[in-house]
Chains A and B, each alone.
Chain A
Amino acid sequence: MATQASASTSDFIKNLGRMYGTYTGGFIGFILLLAVLEQVGVPNKILGYLFVFFTLAVYAIIGVMTRTAEVSEYYVAGRRVPAFYNGMATGADWMSAASFVGMAGTLFLLGYDGLAWVLGWTGGFVLVSILIGPYLRKFGAYTVPDFLSFRYGGNFARFLGVIVLVACSFTYVTAQIYGTGIIASRFLGMQFELAVFAGLVGILLCAMLGGMRAVTWTQIAQYIVLIIAYLTPIVILSTMKYGLPVPQLTYGQAIADITAREQQMLANGLSTAAALKPHIQPFINYSPLNFFAIIMCMMVGTASLPHILMRYFTTPSVREARQSVAWSLLFIFLLYFSAPAYAAFSKLEVYTNIIGRNLSAIRPWLFSWGELGLIKICGKDASSIDAVIAACKAIADHPGVVRLQDFVINTDVIVLSTPEIAGLPYVISGLVAAGGLAAALSTADGLLLAIANALSHDIYYKMIDPNAPTIRRLTVARALLVGVAVVAAATAATKPADILAMVGWAFSLAMAGNFPALVMGVWWKRTTATGAICGIIAGFGLCLFYLVTTRYFPGAGVKYFGMTSLLNPLTGAPVVDIAKAMALPNAMESFPTLAHPLANKVGWFDLNNIACGLLGAPLGFAVIYIVSKLGREPSAQMQAYVDEIRKPRGRTVLEEKTT
């Protein structure tokens, strides 16, 4: 029986290349088929639906086919996902709706300063590989709190680990479901709430029956869709404009053109010096401190996020875990080093074909986005030429051509509109929508699984009922998965205002809560349970305090905690006059809207609250070190376990009951 199972497994692994090769070919064939359908006159709306439902159906079929009733399959995919494929799955796990849709837009708006996110969301994998991931794989955990509990004396440390995990994963998963709603509603004209619900069903079909095993094999399929969708439009655009299908090289020319055009716009009075933010000039949106703080927090946060770390629990060996991190970053790199090309091409288009144009000669691609309120010219939605002309006439002394300060674009539009800018057929737009959905769904799957596994494995099985039989454990795991998903979807449907900022917060919270305890647990044998527990509480607590105070109780932060205004990175002047704001009647208001003069605009040392991990993590390290030094050194047995974790050879330290 056992040999039969392992024989069929190795067949399965051997056939992976052929299976996913066929799948990729099938997907490309499907795109071509839709392209033909478009030519014979099938309406765009139908094509969009076909794209979304076909891809969702494929994910669901994979999810159902890979269902499992085994605990180790459910939690760690049986630990036999080859490095290369795990790298692809991690790529999809990692790249969210924000990476796919938002990143290029951020780069468009912020220019060089936006690259802090590109750097921060890639470099962290170096830390995963050299400091944490492979050691956790050797340890043999199912979840990150598993390790904390074992290394730091039991369920209290486990419970803290679960709190950190839920704090950083829940808002993140809500943002993904929100992202599926946005994409589906924009492309298919579905109602937002309905789109959220459809996304939820897609996520559940993938994750519920097969846990980690199903999520792994669907994430690979999703990676293939998302990378084809991201690269296709920009490769075509690059070939059309520069005759070379490598946008990552050709956008150097676009950047030179942008810089030249910026000077020209200033000279022609098409832009004021205040409205123009030169694309390659550093540190005009973030001060150097905040630029590097964001890089640090995103990198260290990467190495602390449970849904990423747990992907490396699924490889067959420690060696493959390390190789797998390298593959992951390679697959992620393919998207991230293309995002600045999107930004540059879009910016060049806007600067040359919109700014400086006579109002009546604006290119028509932007009106469909204007109708959705995503592009504004002269302060009004740019829904048609007449609307634009009327809006600009209302402005005194308007020269009749679009000036830079007249033009406002929502960052999501950059990637989504590129096919239209290039004049490509609708099928490419549909492809981009399918890619954005794949990115959002795959990340949501990984996050949901991380949360549900922490609740079912750590809270239910380890803390409430350690004798639960397998069937009940898996039933509880699935019920919790559905429960968490429904709560997240319900939260997303209310369109919470802070949702996108919260994704950034998740990295800082993970960094402050997890990183010191995980690193010290492996790299310093002398770390004691008390030290780690105090360190997690102190580091996570400080980070959370800084976030909550600066965002939700800014008045109290100024009054009681000596916070001052953040500074304008360009001029060094305070962004808000604290004395004046504190004199307002609503100064001490709690949970104010973002319109509140102080919300997100106060802090210590001019540190943006998104980088609060930079306060929490060093405090965590210091507390762990000092408290550990004060206590007795860990038992010889525990130190021997740490030695075991450091050697790839041999059995895992933690042996789970699997049946």
Chain B
Amino acid sequence: MPDSTSIKQKEDAHWRKTSRLMFTHLAIWFFFGFVIHMFVKPLNNIVIPIVGFPLGFYMAAQGSLIAFVVMLFVFAKQQDKIDREFGFAEED
């Protein structure tokens, strides 16, 4: 039975890592949800070859959405890794 201070330390370290991961993903979310669309006008001057979408339109219609989906799968993996590292993950 580990003493309570070492549990406390583990909890703090786990939460620090979890928070850092949260802020990273929050920043990426903000970028794809907002920042990139602020530049829609210049981006629309770029046309994606072959399919022919203006890039600014494409990012709002598909690009950001793909980024969100990928982010969520990656996040689930990363957070699980953090939980396992500190022994806080559930049994498989």
Q: Which residues of A contact B (CB under 8 A)?
A: 112, 115, 118-119, 122-123, 125-127, 129-131, 134, 248-250, 252-253, 255-256, 280, 282, 288, 291-292, 295-296, 299, 317-319, 322-323, 325-326, 329-330, 333, 336-337, 340, 523, 643, 646-649
Q: Does B46 contact A (CB under 8 A)?
A: no
Q: Which residues of B contact A (CB under 8 A)?
A: 11, 14-15, 18-19, 21-22, 25-26, 29, 32-34, 37-38, 40-41, 44, 47-48, 51-54, 56-58, 60-62, 64-66, 68-69, 71-73, 75-76, 79-80, 83, 87-90
A295 touches B34 (CB 8 A): yes
B40 touches A127 (CB 8 A): no
Least CB separation from B8: chain A residue = A643
A119 touches B62 (CB 8 A): no
Q: Which 4 A-B pairs have the closest CB atoms?
A: A326-B72, A252-B52, A115-B60, A252-B51
**Which listed residue (B22, B48, B64) contacts A130, Cβ 8 A?**
B22
A322 touches B79 (CB 8 A): yes
Residues of A with C-beta under 8 A to B34: 292, 295-296
**Which listed residue (A115, A134, A252, A329) contacts B53, Cβ 8 A?**
A252
A319 touches B76 (CB 8 A): yes
- Please list 29 pairs of residues, one from A and one from B, whose beta carbons are closer than 8 Å in the complex, sorted by A's number: A112-B40, A119-B33, A122-B68, A123-B33, A125-B68, A126-B25, A126-B72, A129-B76, A249-B51, A253-B52, A280-B44, A282-B41, A282-B56, A295-B37, A296-B33, A317-B90, A319-B83, A319-B90, A322-B75, A322-B79, A323-B73, A326-B73, A329-B69, A337-B61, A337-B65, A647-B11, A648-B89, A648-B90, A649-B90
Residues of B with C-beta under 8 A to A288: 38
Cβ of A497 to closest chain B Cβ, rounded Å: 31
Complex CA distance for A188 and B83, rounded to whole angstroms: 53
B57 touches A333 (CB 8 A): no
B72 touches A329 (CB 8 A): yes
Residues of A with C-beta under 8 A to B37: 119, 291-292, 295
Cβ of A527 to closest chain B Cβ, rounded Å: 15
Complex CA distance for A134 and B22, rounded to whole angstroms: 13
**Which listed residue (A115, A122, A255, A326) contacts B52, Cβ 8 A?**
A255
**Which listed residue (A112, A123, A322) contacts B32, Cβ 8 A?**
A123
A295 touches B90 (CB 8 A): no
Least CB separation from A341: chain B residue = B61
Residues of A with C-beta under 8 A to B79: 134, 322
A648 touches B44 (CB 8 A): no
Residues of A with C-beta under 8 A to B21: 130
A333 touches B69 (CB 8 A): yes
A322 touches B76 (CB 8 A): yes
A648 touches B75 (CB 8 A): no
Residues of A with C-beta under 8 A to B58: 252
B68 touches A126 (CB 8 A): yes
Could you tell me the dominant secondary structure of chain B's interface residues? helix
A282 touches B40 (CB 8 A): yes
Residues of B with C-beta under 8 A to A112: 40, 56-57, 60
Cβ of B78 to closest chain A Cβ, rounded Å: 10
Residues of A with C-beta under 8 A to B25: 126, 130
Residues of B with C-beta under 8 A to A317: 90
B33 touches A130 (CB 8 A): no
B76 touches A255 (CB 8 A): no
Cβ of A113 to closest chain B Cβ, rounded Å: 10
Least CB separation from A134: chain B residue = B79
CB contact under 8 A between A647 and B22, given known A118-B61, A252-B51: no
Residues of A with C-beta under 8 A to B80: 319, 322
Residues of A with C-beta under 8 A to B83: 319, 647-649
Complex CA distance for A161 and B89, rounded to whole angstroms: 30
Residues of B with C-beta under 8 A to A130: 21-22, 25-26, 29, 75
Residues of B with C-beta under 8 A to A134: 79
Cβ of B61 to closest chain A Cβ, rounded Å: 5
Complex CA distance for A118 and B66, rounded to whole angstroms: 12
Complex CA distance for A248 and B87, rounded to whole angstroms: 43
A340 touches B61 (CB 8 A): yes
Residues of B with C-beta under 8 A to A122: 64-65, 68
A255 touches B64 (CB 8 A): no
Complex CA distance for A325 and B66, rounded to whole angstroms: 14
Cβ of A356 to closest chain B Cβ, rounded Å: 23
Residues of B with C-beta under 8 A to A280: 44, 54, 56-57
Complex CA distance for A171 and B12, rounded to whole angstroms: 43
Complex CA distance for A73 and B90, rounded to whole angstroms: 22
Residues of B with C-beta under 8 A to A253: 51-52
Cβ of A335 to closest chain B Cβ, rounded Å: 11
Cβ of B34 to closest chain A Cβ, rounded Å: 6
Residue among A115, A253, A296, A643 facing the most chain B CB atoms (10 A cut-off): A115
B72 touches A127 (CB 8 A): no
Residues of B with C-beta under 8 A to A318: 90
**Which listed residue (B38, B40, B57) contacts A255, Cβ 8 A?**
B57
Cβ of B26 to closest chain A Cβ, rounded Å: 7
Complex CA distance for A131 and B19, rounded to whole angstroms: 10
A329 touches B68 (CB 8 A): yes
A647 touches B51 (CB 8 A): no
A323 touches B22 (CB 8 A): no
Residues of A with C-beta under 8 A to B88: 647-649
A255 touches B54 (CB 8 A): yes
A123 touches B15 (CB 8 A): no
Residues of A with C-beta under 8 A to B53: 252, 255
Complex CA distance for A280 and B47, rounded to whole angstroms: 12
Complex CA distance for A127 and B64, rounded to whole angstroms: 15
